[in-house]
Amino acid sequence: MPKGDTESAEHEIKYIVRIAQTDLDGKKAVQYALTGLKGVGIRTARILTQRASLDPDDTMGYLEDEQVERLRESVANFNQNVPTWMFNYRKNPVTGENQHLLGSQVDLTLRETLNLMKKTRSYTGIRHERGHKVRGQRTKSTGRRGATVGVQRKKR
């Protein structure tokens, strides 16, 4: 093989890298590409790349297969790699365990938790059901929707 062909084969970019059942952009840096995973922010992505002993600023598409595999293992073993205060789902209401959810697990677990709150008729569940603000915000003048926005005057 001529010298030019080996260089092009080495520098061939993978435009899509698949990690945790999600397609990630191969043109981005590793730490920013990992934020494409639901449940992974920039800080979490940086920790994952360091655990996989990769440079966070490398381009995702230029990683070798062995490096991508290390990254996959790092994502899969996230619960063992970071302290519990970094998890995004602590104190599961059913099992009581701490976990970090990724991908479609985030949506499914949120839906299940909301349904459980609605079923048990908790205050938060009732607020969710009625479409009101849930976290204690003021509602007298903000959060209005529909045609009834505005001040009404007294009729004389």
Domains in the chain, CATH or no CATH each? 10-81 (1.10.8.50), 86-130 (no CATH)
pTM (whole model) above 0.75: no
User: What does residue 15 show for φ and ψ, rounded to 5 degrees?
Assistant: -75, -25
d(CA 85, CA 100): 10
The confidence score (pLDDT) of residue 150 equals 63
- Under 8 Å between Cβ of 64 and 55: no
What's the first-to-final CA gap in the chain, in angstroms?
Answer: 94
- pLDDT tens, N- to C-terminus, the chain (156 residues): 344 444 445 678 889 989 988 899 989 999 999 999 999 999 999 999 999 999 999 999 999 999 999 999 999 998 887 888 999 888 888 888 998 998 888 999 999 999 999 999 999 999 999 999 999 999 888 877 766 656 667 777
Look at residue 4 in the predicted model and tell me its pLDDT. 46
